[in-house]
């Protein structure tokens, strides 16, 4: 049962993509059957672009509206006015118009490929970690880039029992062996974008004739602070070497994270990286990667902040009033950062006046 004369069944969502990719913003709605009586037609859908004006679909080179009401952008390119905030408007003549949530179309920054060369010296049985991208990208963006690793200028043959390609493009090799010796570099591609990292050289040290020596944990890679959106998948990288080989466990705000719960959204990737699926507001906090062996224990920490899209705590209800009667429509919204509240009438922004006032949102 529809509680209001007009309502959305599908609203557009934010999209961030590499330049040149296509985008579809979905929108659908319905009207109460009683509204469609008296000869009124079904709800009409139109779109409002980043410039705040209704989009004139006819003659638009890049944007077209599909028969189901969705907006299709064939190629999102910079400097063409295609990026920014879009709104879907649902209207019925004689009744009014409602506006969807804002949907931001943005072009993803090109990944910053690692250009630092390293000479890496390890003993057989230790863990090697090769960084590909210098800066963190959102998990949803990382998946749009294809990463391939080269060894000695040839495609690396992945031994899936020891080698892991992380979502960030990094390569982790556990239990290195002499055959792993060589130069490594990554190649990142997406559409017409292609870029090679610098080369890093892996050397395997010999222990022949040397007495066994013990060593405390030493981090190969440590987790980095992240600000993410609720519902995202988050990866906190961590790996360590030492003798004996360190064990890694994770803590949040000083308390151990339970990985054994069948419903847990937390799991270990590779030798020690932490993956958090569908991160929630309550998952925000300080995360500690703790590497321990018989020699010592070592911590590396990173703060994870979770942004929460606006959600209605209290939404306005339909009201009937006499002419000149004072009327109040209540609205309360939660989100992180604190949302900016705007009021619209039939799709147009309300400007406060003596007639209409906005009090505390």
pLDDT digits (tens, 9 = 90+) for 291-324: 999 999 999 999 999 999 888 888 888 888 888 8
pLDDT digits (tens, 9 = 90+) for 156-180: 999 999 999 998 889 999 999 999 9
Structural domains in the chain plus CATH codes: 1-108 (2.60.40.10), 110-210 (2.60.40.10)
For position 361, what pLDDT does the model report? 61
**Is residue 211 classed exposed, middle or buried when 0-12, 13-18 and 19+ CB atoms within 10 A define those classes?**
exposed
What's the whole-number mean pLDDT along residues 18-34? 86
For position 348, what pLDDT does the model report? 81
- When the pLDDT of each residue in the chain is averaged and rounded to a whole number, the result is 88
pLDDT digits (tens, 9 = 90+) for 98-109: 999 899 999 877
Q: What is the C-alpha separation between 271 and 11, in angstroms, rounded? A: 41
Alpha carbon separation from 123 to 129, 171, 173, 190, 206 (Å, rounded): 14, 18, 13, 36, 7
Indicate the pairing of strand 285-292 with strand 297-314: antiparallel
Between 65 and 33, whose confidence is greater? 65
- The residues, any chain, with a CB within 8 Å of residue 181's CB and separated by 6 or more, are 202, 203, 204
* SS3 state of residue 104: strand
Half-sphere exposure of 208 (CA within 13 A, CB side): 3
Q: What kind and span of H or E run contains 139?
A: helix 139-142
For position 1, what pLDDT does the model report? 38
Between 41 and 235, whose confidence is greater? 235
Q: What is the DSSP letter of 142?
A: H
Query: Please, which pLDDT band fits residue 2 given cuts at 50, 70 and 90?
Result: very low
**Which of 294, 271, 291, 272 has the alpha carbon at shortest distance from 214?**
294
Q: Which residue has the tokens 């990866």?
A: 235
For position 115, what pLDDT does the model report? 87
What's the whole-number mean pLDDT along residues 354-360? 79
Half-sphere exposure of 54 (CA within 13 A, CB side): 9
For position 349, what pLDDT does the model report? 83
**Which of 54, 55, 66, 57 has the alpha carbon at shortest distance from 28?**
66
**Which of 135, 149, 110 has the alpha carbon at shortest distance from 21?**
110
Q: What is the C-alpha separation between 113 and 135, in angstroms, rounded? A: 8
pLDDT digits (tens, 9 = 90+) for 194-208: 889 999 999 999 877
- The residues, any chain, with a CB within 8 Å of residue 160's CB and separated by 6 or more, are none
**Which of 10, 5, 3, 69 has the alpha carbon at shortest distance from 31?**
5
Q: What kind and span of H or E run contains 219?
A: strand 215-221
- Stretch among 189-193, 227-231, 278-282 having the lowest mean pLDDT: 189-193
């Amino acid at each position: 049962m529809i509680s209001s004369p007009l309502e959305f069944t599908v609203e557009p969502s934010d999209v961030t993509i590499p330049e040149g990719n296509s985008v579809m913003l979905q929108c659908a709605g319905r009207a109460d059957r009683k509204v469609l009586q008296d000869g009124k037609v079904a709800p009409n859908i139109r779109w409002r672009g980043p410039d705040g004006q209704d989009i004139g679909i006819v003659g638009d080179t890049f944007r077209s509206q599909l028969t189901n009401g969705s907006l299709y952008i064939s190629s999102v390119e910079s400097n063409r006015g295609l990026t920014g905030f879009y709104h879907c408007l649902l209207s019925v003549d004689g009744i009014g118009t409602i506006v969807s949530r804002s949907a931001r179309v943005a072009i993803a920054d090109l990944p910053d490929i690692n250009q630092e060369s390293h000479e890496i010296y390890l003993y057989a049985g230790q863990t090697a970690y090769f960084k590909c991208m210098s800066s963190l990208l959102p998990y949803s963006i990382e998946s749009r880039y294809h990463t391939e690793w080269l060894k000695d200028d040839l495609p690396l043959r992945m031994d899936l029992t020891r080698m892991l390609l992380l979502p960030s493009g990094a390569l982790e090799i556990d239990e290195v062996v002499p055959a792993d010796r060589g130069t490594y570099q990554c190649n990142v591609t997406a559409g017409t974008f292609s870029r090679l990292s610098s080369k890093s050289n892996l050397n395997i040290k010999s222990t022949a004739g040397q007495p066994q020596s013990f060593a405390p944990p030493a981090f190969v890679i440590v987790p980095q602070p992240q600000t993410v959106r609720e519902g995202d998948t988050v990866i906190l990288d961590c790996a360590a070497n030492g003798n004996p080989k360190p064990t890694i466990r994770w803590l949040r705000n000083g308390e151990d994270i339970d990985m054994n719960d069948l419903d847990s959204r937390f799991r270990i990737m590779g030798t020690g990286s932490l993956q958090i699926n569908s991160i929630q507001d309550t998952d925000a906090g300080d995360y500690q990667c703790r590497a321990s062996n018989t020699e010592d224990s070592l911590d590396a920490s990173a703060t994870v902040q979770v942004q929460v899209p606006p959600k209605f705590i209290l939404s306005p209800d339909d009201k009937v009033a006499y002419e000149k009667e004072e009327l109040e429509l209540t609205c309360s919204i939660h989100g992180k950062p604190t949302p900016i509240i705007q009021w619209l009438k039939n799709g147009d922004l309300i400007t406060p006046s003596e007639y209409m006032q906005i009090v505390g949102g």
